[in-house]
């Protein structure tokens, strides 16, 4: 039984909560417009997303209800469960858009690759918090984290969802670099990555994946084909101008010029309707949330807390950056959502749970009574 400490409430971070609420509110607002006309869907996406937010709140509350240090041990079954789901999804999952895999739970189509990202963050945070090396990790010491990353990476790559699988690599690199490596480790890892990348381009990438990357290099060349999405997304954002077309007035989105307008390209709808000014406000709040996450990490009481908070920020930050750079035409179209903003229950629940962990670290920044008592 977990004892509820009075200080938990005292340390509940209202600023973090405020940022989360603001982003979620704007996101839901945006989704209402982005999925217009709603008659095209069985249940309008903003309604479904609303339910997911409620579930997300539950996930958030659950995530703060226990001491995050419990994750050291909870981590194992969580890891095993997610890998199991990924395997299930690979064999019996539904395919959507030729890449992502879902497990149909009836009321909800679970995309196990989303919680898998958080799973990796927790696993790595747990690993790196237990072993500390003054002069950095050697390559041999990294075998375990590499293995932890490689299992979901390969399973998702086989789906085949290149974009999502690369997220695991990015999380691994971010967290590993953060905890300090030996110089020799950098060199070896770097050359290994280059070699693997070349091999992957030649042998592993599917033609459509190569096509996407090539299209990205020159999207205007084929505006009705593969470059279409990027061009339309740029037109949507650009046509918003300084102050935007006004809420619900975005023509690019409403007339279906914009692809995936309520999922991966949801922010393009915001950009079109609210313009540069609105985008600046939105991104300002979004990035303040991330910077606040760093602040939380700085005030964490132990190494695990720092790594967890940093990992959660990493998870949200890189997805957001990749998504935004894609929408703004700097990256090829990869199926990476903008956390909290893009429609999708798996991503939203995962993100809310991750933010819950962040809050958990924040709330338990004081020295625990247990350690005082013992």
Partner 1 sequence: MGLKLFFKEIDDISEHDEGALDLLKKRLLGAAVVIIVFFTIIVLRLWSLQVTHGKDYERRAYNNRVQVQRVVAPRGHILDRNGNEIVTNRPSFNVVLIRKDSRDLGAVLKRLAPVLEKDVSELWKKIREASGTPRYLPIRLKEDIDWETLAYLENHNHDFSGVRIEVQPVRVYHYGNLAANTLGYLGSISKKELAKADKKIYSGGDIIGKRGLERLRESDLRGEKGKNYSEVNAKGFEQQLLKSIDPLPGREIRLTLDVALQQVAETFMDAGEKSGAVVAMEVNTGRLLTVVSTPSIHIDQFVGGISHTNWKALLDNPKHPLINKAVQANYPPGSTYKMVTALAGLGKGVINEHTVFYCPGYYRFGNRTYRCWKRGGHGPVNLKKAISQSCDVYFYQVGQRVGVNSLAEYAQKLGLGKKTGVDMEHEKRGLTPTKEWKLKYRKGKWQEGETLSVAIGQGFNLVTPIQMCVMTATLANGGRVYRPQLVETVVDPEGNVVESFKPEMVNEVKGLDRYFRLIREGMVEVVQGKRGTARSVAIEGLRIGGKTGTAQVVKIAVYRHLKEKDIPYKFRDHAWFTCYAPAEHPEIAVTVMVEHGLHGGSGAGPVARAILSEYFRNRLENVNSEMAIAH
The span from the CA of 207 to the CA of 55, in Å, is 38
CB of 76 to partner 1, least distance (A): 5
Q: Tokens representing 285?
A: 């709040």
What b/e sequence results for 317-344 when a residue is b if at least 16 CB atoms lie within 10 Å of its CB, and e otherwise?
Answer: bbbbbbbbebbbbebbbbbbbbbbbbbb
Report, in angstroms and rounded to the nearest whole number, the Rg of the chain calculated over CA atoms: 21
Reported in sequence order, the residue ranges of the chain that DSSP labels E, i.e. its strands, are 94-96, 100-104, 109-110
What phi and psi, each to the nearest 5 degrees, are found at residue 140? -65, -35
CB of 296 to partner 1, least distance (A): 10
**Angle at which helices 303-327 and 228-239 cross, to 10°:** 90
Tell the residue number behind the tokens 């858009």, with chain if given.
97
Q: Does 210 bind partner 1 (CB under 8 A)?
A: no
By CB under 8 A, name the one of 87, 276, 285, 365 that touches partner 1.
276
The span from the CA of 64 to the CA of 150, in Å, is 29
By CB under 8 A, name the one of 32, 46, 317, 343 that touches partner 1.
317
Q: Does 291 bind partner 1 (CB under 8 A)?
A: yes
CB of 6 to partner 1, least distance (A): 26
Sheet with 94-96, strands from edge to edge, namely 94-96, 100-104, 109-110
Q: Does 242 bind partner 1 (CB under 8 A)?
A: yes
CB of 367 to partner 1, least distance (A): 12
The span from the CA of 367 to the CA of 5, in Å, is 11
Q: Does 216 bind partner 1 (CB under 8 A)?
A: no
Instruction: Provide the greatest CA pair distance for the chain.
Output: 69
Nearest CB to partner 1, comparing residues 246 and 259? 259
Q: Does 76 bind partner 1 (CB under 8 A)?
A: yes
The span from the CA of 20 to the CA of 68, in Å, is 20
Binding-residue total with partner 1 (CB under 8 A):
61
Q: Does 249 bind partner 1 (CB under 8 A)?
A: no
Q: Does 20 bind partner 1 (CB under 8 A)?
A: no
CB of 131 to partner 1, least distance (A): 4
Q: Which helix (H) or strand (E) holds 253?
A: helix 251-254
Residue 299, burial from CB neighbour count under 10 angstroms (0-12, 13-18, 19+): middle
By CB under 8 A, name the one of 98, 195, 225, 241 that touches partner 1.
241
Nearest CB to partner 1, comparing residues 98 and 241? 241
Q: Does 84 bind partner 1 (CB under 8 A)?
A: no
Q: Which stretch binds partner 1 (CB under 8 A): 99-107, 289-297, 341-349, 356-364?
A: 289-297
- CB distance 231 to 257 below 8 Å: no
Near partner 1 in 128-147, by CB under 8 A: 129-132, 134, 144
CB of 2 to partner 1, least distance (A): 21
Q: Tokens representing 219?
A: 């999207």
Q: Does 74 bind partner 1 (CB under 8 A)?
A: no
CB of 77 to partner 1, least distance (A): 10
Binding site residues, partner 1, CB under 8 A? 72-73, 76, 80, 126-127, 129-132, 134, 144, 178-180, 224, 228, 232, 234-242, 251-252, 255-259, 271-272, 275-276, 279-280, 283, 287, 290-291, 294, 297-298, 302-303, 306-307, 310, 313-314, 317, 321, 324-325, 328-330
């Amino acid at each position: 039984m977990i004892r509820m400490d009075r200080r938990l409430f005292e340390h509940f971070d209202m600023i973090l909560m405020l940022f989360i609420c603001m982003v979620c509110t704007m996101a839901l607002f945006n989704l209402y417009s982005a999925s217009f006309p709603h008659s095209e869907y069985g249940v309008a996406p903003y309604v479904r997303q609303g339910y997911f937010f409620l579930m997300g709140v539950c996930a958030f509350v659950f995530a703060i209800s226990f001491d995050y240090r419990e994750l050291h041990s909870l981590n194992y079954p969580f890891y095993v469960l997610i890998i199991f789901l990924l395997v299930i999804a690979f064999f019996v999952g539904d395919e959507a858009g030729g890449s992502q895999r879902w497990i149909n739970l009836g009321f909800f189509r679970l995309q196990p690759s989303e919680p898998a990202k958080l799973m990796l963050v927790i696993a790595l945070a747990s690993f790196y918090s237990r072993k500390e090396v003054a002069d950095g990790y050697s390559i041999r010491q990294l075998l375990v984290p590499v293995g932890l990353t490689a299992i979901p990476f390969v399973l998702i790559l086989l789906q085949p969802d290149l974009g999502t699988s690369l997220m695991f690599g990015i999380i691994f690199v971010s967290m590993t670099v953060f905890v300090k490596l030996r110089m020799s480790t950098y060199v070896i890892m770097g050359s290994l990555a280059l070699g693997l990348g070349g091999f992957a381009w030649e042998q592993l990438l599917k033609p459509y994946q190569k096509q996407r990357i090539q299209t990205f290099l020159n999207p205007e060349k084929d505006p009705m084909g593969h470059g279409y999405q990027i061009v339309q997304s740029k037109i949507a954002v650009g046509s918003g101008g300084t102050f935007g077309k006004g809420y619900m007035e975005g023509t690019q989105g409403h007339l279906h010029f914009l692809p995936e307008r309520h999922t991966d390209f949801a922010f393009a709808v915001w950009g079109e309707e609210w313009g540069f000014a609105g985008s600046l406000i939105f991104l300002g709040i979004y990035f303040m949330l991330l910077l606040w996450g760093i602040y939380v990490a700085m005030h964490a009481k132990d190494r695990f807390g720092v790594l967890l908070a940093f990992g959660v920020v990493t998870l949200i930050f890189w997805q957001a950056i990749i998504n935004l750079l894609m929408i703004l035409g700097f990256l090829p179209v990869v199926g990476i959502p903008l956390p909290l903003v893009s429609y999708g229950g798996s991503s939203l629940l995962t993100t809310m749970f991750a933010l819950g962990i962040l809050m958990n670290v924040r709330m338990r920044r004081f020295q625990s009574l247990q350690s005082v008592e013992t």
